[in-house]
Structure 1
Amino acid sequence: MTSSSAPLPDQIQRFIFDDTAVRGELVQLHQSYQEVLIRHEYPPAIEKLLGELLAATALLTATVKLEGTLTLEARGQGEVSLLMAECNTGIQGGDQLRAIARYQDEPQGHTLTELLKGGQLVITLDPYEGKRYQGIVALDQETLTACLEGYFASSEQLPTRLWLAADNKSAAGLLLQKLPEDAQNKDPDAWTRVGHLAATVTSEELLHLEQQQLLHRLFHEEDLRVFEPKLLKFGCTCSRERISNALASLGEEELNSAIAEQGKITTQCHFCNTSYVFSQKDLPEILNLQNKVAPQGTKLH
């Protein structure tokens, strides 16, 4: 569906409709989504939901203009116990994305409510500077799209439309948002009109049509202004030092006991599957790091 055989870049495209109170974001993920999938063998239903969550995370991070980490964490009592995606901004070469899922056996459900029964979605904004914010969304709709649209309507009070899609190759999302009215808005009907236009998008187009082509296909009759796209990539924040910091909080006695019993301490990052091995000779280094741990503790991610 593209005019070039070159792989599409992982990027997010911001755009606005001139002289209106409507803005939008378009994200397409290919390599970063594949990096998530190759580290774990997920069933198709999990792949699809995880791809949609990853695309939604990128869209929300750009929409709130966060400098820090945004996390979408869905927990439930069904066949899937956890779906989690994160985005770190301000990274050289593009914002970093990652995601994981935890589930039982081969899930039989297909919709969000079937797979995460009685679940909720926690949206966490953790800025590099400033206070941490959390919002909670009930997973009481069949799709992630409907749940997030409901969140924006009730909590943010900003009318928002979302279209999410994922297959086993790509993940993508389109977001439209109506901003508060001001004197610059010369087209009060724009929100309804562009919403109808966006609703004609197909999952195939969203996933595989080049972004400029897609925006032209949907909004060629509108006065659309696009900005420089931002690159995205897979990335993990784990490191040997961070793992050492976490182990240090266990204390010398417990660490000695674990090494005596197993010969070594092996930990694995849930996001990227990197293994970290610590032996008896590493214990002085770990315990020395204990003095550097902040009073509130250290996050692994």
Structure 2
Amino acid sequence: MTDHLHRFIFEHASIRGELVQLSDSYQEVLRRREMPEGLARLTGEAMAAGALLVATLKFKGQLSLQFQGDGPVGLLLIQVGSDGGLRATARWNEDTPLPGPGATLAQFFGKGHLAITIEPKDEGERYQGLVGLGAGNLAEAVEGYFRDSEQLATRVWLTSDDHTAAGMLLQRLPGEEGDPDAWNRAGLLTDTLTMEELRGLDTGEILRRLFHEEDLRLFDPTPFRFHCNCSRERISNILLSMGEGEIRSLLEEQGVIETHCQFCNAGYRFDAVDIEHLFSDKPHHGPQTPPTQH
């Protein structure tokens, strides 16, 4: 299954919709970071939610969903770009059994919040909205975000299994209602869709089953893929920000500095020659040991 998001609108009602199915990108996240089943399923739902959210925005940049709390899972971070790049990471207490699939956000994160951050690439201000993590699920939290931060009536359905994550969003847009019953009708019809169907059927079949009596306009699909923007240059900048004294002390203690990206697990290795070059303002002459990336 390829990873795509489809946008559609109701021609005679102020309603827009989105449907996303993620397989390859979701599997790539799980391949790079083994997670307990319940957390893996939640990560899939969060990736689908991130794709739905970024598609509602008209900007070039990055959107993040960051879950934090004092529960057994301390952090779940999803980052999705307007170009379709997706990545995810999580941090949890490996000595504590985690909740299984279907658990509430509070069971995973305890007392905490979901921060939804929008970072435009070229222009515009960074924006962040916060949602409390109560006794509900992720779909309800996203609906609450739109209700409280955007003042838009929104319905969200999210699901994942071992192979695929999927989501659907309906949003009532401001303006005159050509069909005043359309919003309630669309929600009731979508509630008849099973989560297995949302994951397994293609978009055309889902929309035909739900809205065959409605007049829809379906737009070209948007592709999504796993993408991590880590690089040796970015890691070098982090080391520089830590200061020469601390880095040289760490190098003396360990003999080599090794770090791994928390998203893609790529390894970066800095030996004494690399650190000397990093902190030297003078051109480095003569043969150099090539940097190592695992």
- The Cα RMSD (Å) is 1.3
**Pick aligned residue for 1:103 from 88, 92, 95:** 92
Q: Tell me the residue number matched to 2:53.
A: 60
**Pick aligned residue for 2:14 from 13, 21, 26:** 21
Q: Distance in 1 between matches of 2:62 and 2:280?
A: 28
CA contact (8 A) 2:6 2:219 kept: yes
**Do residues 188 (structure 1) and 180 (structure 2) align?**
yes
Q: CA deviation at 1:154?
A: 1.5
- Correspondence list, 1:68-147, <5 A: 68-90=61-83, 95-105=84-94, 106-108=97-99, 110-128=103-121, 129-147=123-141
Q: Distance in 1 between matches of 2:276 and 2:208?
A: 60
Q: Tell me the residue number matched to 1:233.
A: 225
CA contact (8 A) 2:120 2:126 kept: yes
- Correspondence list, 1:250-265, <5 A: 250-265=242-257
Q: Tell me the residue number matched to 1:11.
A: 4
Give the 3-state SS of the residue equivalent to 1:196 in structure 2: helix
Give the 3-state SS of the residue equivalent to 1:249 in structure 2: helix
Q: CA deviation at 1:288?
A: 5.6
**Pick aligned residue for 1:208 from 200, 207, 210:** 200
AA aligned opposite 1:174: M
TM-score by length of 2: 0.91
Moved more, 104-113 or 33-42: 104-113
CA contact (8 A) 2:55 2:82 kept: no
TM-score by length of 1: 0.89
Q: Distance in 2 between matches of 1:162 and 1:108?
A: 22
Q: CA deviation at 1:212?
A: 1.1
Q: Tell me the residue number matched to 1:41.
A: 34
- The answer for unaligned runs of 5 or more in structure 2 is 282-294
Q: Distance in 1 between matches of 2:22 and 2:198?
A: 11
CA contact (8 A) 1:141 1:147 kept: no
Q: Tell me the residue number matched to 1:294.
A: none
**Pick aligned residue for 1:162 from 152, 156, 176:** 156
Q: Distance in 2 between matches of 1:70 and 1:102?
A: 19
Q: CA deviation at 1:249?
A: 1.1
Q: CA deviation at 1:192?
A: 0.9
AA aligned opposite 2:50: T
Q: Distance in 1 between matches of 2:209 and 2:82?
A: 30
CA contact (8 A) 1:124 1:133 kept: yes
Q: Distance in 1 between matches of 2:98 and 2:163?
A: 20
Q: Distance in 1 between matches of 2:226 and 2:190?
A: 28
- The answer for unaligned runs of 5 or more in structure 1 is 1-7, 290-301
Moved more, 165-174 or 64-73: 64-73
CA contact (8 A) 2:41 2:161 kept: yes
AA aligned opposite 2:157: W
* Compared CA separation, residues 150 and 141, structure 1 to 2 (3 A): farther
Q: Percent identity?
A: 50
Runs (4+) of structure 1 moved beyond 2 Å?
A: 108-111, 284-289
Give the 3-state SS of the residue equivalent to 1:101 in structure 2: strand
AA aligned opposite 1:146: E
> How many residues align structurally?
276
Q: Distance in 2 between matches of 1:253 and 1:79?
A: 35
Q: CA deviation at 1:227?
A: 0.2
CA contact (8 A) 1:48 1:167 kept: yes
Q: Tell me the residue number matched to 2:290.
A: none
Q: CA deviation at 1:130?
A: 1.7
Q: CA deviation at 1:272?
A: 0.3
